[in-house]
Amino acid sequence: MSDPSGTDVRHDWTMDEVRALFGLPFSDLLFQAQTVHRRYHDANAVQVSTLLSIKTGACPEDCKYCPQSVRYDTGLEREPLMEKERVLEAARTARDAGATRFCMGAAWRSPRGRDLVRVAEMIRDVKAMGLETCATLGMLDDEQTRTLREAGLDYYNHNLDTSEEFYGEVITTRTYQDRLDTLERVRKAGMNVCCGGILGMGESTTDRASLLRTLANLPEHPQSVPINQLVQVPGTPLDGAEPVEPIDFVRTIAVARILMPRSHVRLSAGRAEMSDETQALCFLAGANSIFYGERLLTTGNPDVDNDRELFRRLGLRFEEPRCAGADPGRATVA
């Protein structure tokens, strides 16, 4: 099955092809991305997720962008794993505000057994509210993956962050293959994959092309692809990095849409620093998912009222949940 732009849903993109997309005139690129987007999605519906940090700080990893790393002095206070009732209260608030998916993030290299049992209980109870569930807990082994699948987790987030070639400039405490291995476990277990990257860490356009090519050439495209703009935090090594140009950010959204037509492409971290006009271009380029709420783990996000007003001005609406409270079989996910 082909879309109107002549692009099949593919898993064999070459670097030359992806670089050529990045090199298109801006209006041509957006036209192609919008054409693909309309073939596979409702052009005026946006999926809305809310992200909560359920365990904050003291992460042993050295990700240079992250204020939660124990290696950097960012003034962030370490907090233990939240009690379940606090998590459920936050989930109810998110649901009542219009979110259809509730994401739980914990600053771990990999979850420990007793903590994972508690997280599994949270997942079951959040699903019982009619919300889709997502978790980002670090690397997973086979047993941990089964525990989450048995709890009914709909999505697992584990970002590649950047290209394999640039990865060592940002992170040294886990390998690119470590991340790919976790993604493979999640996929084989039958859960949906949420995986994307971060722009503005000093990477080149070729690195952005390589990241998206890696995602698009996975055996199955991630069902959600978050594209983050680096949120610079004082105390982290990437504080003071050259910001990504808004047009370049929009280009990356558009290329992601073309390469992964069925995926939800999420306009993710960094929206608080974006103008309404930049966000509007991102939606035009094929972004159809956002994080909704005042916080993204430990950094700021536009408040709910601002988002509602922007949606009103753009004629956008909240997408209805596709499999809330149900088995996350991939057939139910666009």
Catalytic positions are 59, 63, 66, 103, 134, 194, 266
Query: What are the start-end ranges of the E strands in 20-100?
Result: 45-55
- Ramachandran angles phi, psi of 186, nearest 5°: -60, -45
Contact in structure between 98 and 307 (CB atoms under 8 Å): no
Contact in structure between 307 and 316 (CB atoms under 8 Å): no
Burial class from Cβ neighbours inside 10 Å (0-12, 13-18, 19+) for residue 225 reads buried
Place of tokens 């992200």: 51
Helix (H, G, I), strand (E, B) or coil at 55: strand
| Cα separations in angstroms, 11 against 31, 183, 261 | 22, 16, 11
The per-residue DSSP string of 145-162 comes to: HHHHHHTT--EEE---BS
Token reading at 10:
């593919």
Tell me which amino acid residue 245 is: E
Structure letter (DSSP) for residue 330: G
Place of tokens 């952005």: 208
Contact in structure between 198 and 299 (CB atoms under 8 Å): no
Half-sphere exposure of 207 (CA within 13 A, CB side): 20
